[in-house]
Chains A and B, each alone.
Chain A
Amino acid sequence: MRGFFSNKVLLLVLVTLVLVTAVLFSSLPGSPLYELTTPVSALLQPVQKVFQTSWASVSGLAKSIFDAESIRRENDRLLQEIASLQNDVQRLEENGRRWEELKDAFQIKEEFSDYTIVGCQVMTRSAGPWFDLFRVDAGEREGISVTETTSYPVVDSSMRLVGRVYSSDLVSAKILPLLHQGSVVDARIDRPGGYGARVRGDILLRERGLCLVDRISADATLDVGDALLTSGEGGLYPAGIPIGTIVSIDEGQDGAGRTATLKPYVDFDTLTYVFILKTKTA
């Protein structure tokens, strides 16, 4: 046995085989291999939260140093304005904040009464272009358990589509964003008649923060600026979630179907909180 492990090439082949097997198994939806990440997630979640808070403070400090001069000038101007409006602002600010929070929550609850909403914080962003999933701090403990047939839509606080839950462990879940090349959503154009289309991630369009729209109904009228909503077909996404707007249309040549590019409503770079929609029966 010792001789076997001292043979480095053989050991390398063995490790490679184990890893390839792990890749194949973990590519199955709901694979138990994701449970391997539970201890790591559970141990590192508090550390990650502290790190993230510190990182946000450091980035904020660095930004404020770079912006110091412009901030100072703007501050002088704003101080004059504030002096005259201070009383009104103090009274209205708190009311406004409460109203915004209630409005967002109410909108979600009203439109998706069949769903339980699990709010969660974005813990980690992607590790690079090859691994563009992001992680949130809700998992099986909150009832988010991905299987071969079950996944969950994810929206932001304004009820706009972010993506879907890709995998979960006990304390965290990974979200597949709309821009990812593995993302496919059945959509409808937000016009009278509501013709269907399909929104999918594309490896080249992702570079520009866009998605591809294909399978557009031949009879559909589609213009730049049109909004797309989830159609409700396919069973995963409930109907009516705003996805994004059309930014360009390619009429297709040589028999190729019409395609378009879509800019998602959600700004993935600034996303800090998301909401997972869990069916009440799940």
Chain B
Amino acid sequence: MNSRTTSRSVLFYAVAVLALGMLQVSLPDRTAGHFVKPDLLLVLPVLAGFLFGPVEGAVVGLAAGFFRDAFAGGTIGVGMLVALYAGLLSGILFQRLFRKGFFAALLQVLIVCATTTLLVEGVGILFSASATFTPEAWVRVYLAQSFPLQIALDVGVAIPLFFLMRYAGPHRRSTGRSSAQDAAAEGWR
């Protein structure tokens, strides 16, 4: 990667993290009456990992996570940790099954965002010592209502973001994973 390509990547991701981050913290806290909003700062590293490999996904995740922690996090580091691994995993997981395509990207966003969201929700329940929590109530209130809406919003915002990153993104005329990026992903196995 030459310095011009690196500069383009850094500039693209800096602008993307800033713009998407500011948009995310300006959106209303509720969508259709539920406590959810599109998670732009999670979708960005997931797509970066899917399109350009695990290292790029992890680094973008770290930056997006820092923005999230600085602007809205209760603790410093949780957002960075979650987004780092989301970006990293989306560069590694299913790479032999999902190749380059638009629908594969959406499926990847769906799987990684759903896994991450459920994981964080689970940890939240464990640490919050909720007095009203019962598995039935959780399924009724969260899993059947808020969770599908959250994932639908994440997949929805991934559509324009995918085209932006692929055709006007950090790498000139990028068309998805290159063999070098696949090789980079192999390094994590």
Binding site for B on A (CB under 8 A): 8-9, 12, 15-16, 19-23, 25-27, 33-34, 36-37, 40-41, 44, 47-48, 51-52, 55, 124-135, 166-167, 174, 176, 181-182, 200, 202-209, 212, 214, 259, 268-269
Please state if A203 and B36 are interface contacts (CB–CB under 8 Å).
no
Binding site for A on B (CB under 8 A): 18, 21-30, 34-37, 39, 41-42, 55, 58, 62, 66-82, 84, 88, 120-121, 124-125, 128, 130-133, 137-138, 141-142, 145-146, 150, 187-188
Q: List 10 A-B contacts (CB under 8 A).
A: A16-B81, A27-B75, A55-B23, A124-B22, A125-B25, A127-B68, A127-B72, A130-B78, A206-B35, A269-B29
Chain A min CB distance to B167 (Å): 24
Cross-interface CB contact of A207 among B68, B76, B84, B146, cutoff 8 Å: B146
User: Chain B residues with Cβ under 8 A from A26's Cβ?
Assistant: 75-77
User: Chain A residues with Cβ under 8 A from B24's Cβ?
Assistant: 127-128
User: Chain B residues with Cβ under 8 A from A25's Cβ?
Assistant: 76
Query: A182–B25 Cα gap in the complex (Å)?
Result: 20
Please state if B75 and A126 are interface contacts (CB–CB under 8 Å).
no
Please state if A203 and B133 are interface contacts (CB–CB under 8 Å).
yes
Q: How many A-B residue pairs have CB under 8 A?
A: 160
Chain A min CB distance to B15 (Å): 12
User: Chain A residues with Cβ under 8 A from B34's Cβ?
Assistant: 207
**Contacts A34-B76, A203-B130 given; does A127 touch B124 at CB 8 Å:** no
User: Chain A residues with Cβ under 8 A from B69's Cβ?
Assistant: 37, 131
Top 6 A-B pairs ranked by shortest CB distance? A124-B25, A22-B77, A181-B128, A127-B72, A23-B77, A26-B76
Query: A259–B132 Cα gap in the complex (Å)?
Result: 10
**Contacts A15-B62, A131-B79 given; does A124 touch B130 at CB 8 Å:** no
Query: A124–B88 Cα gap in the complex (Å)?
Result: 28
Interface centre among A25, A33, A125, A214 (most CB of B within 10 A): A125
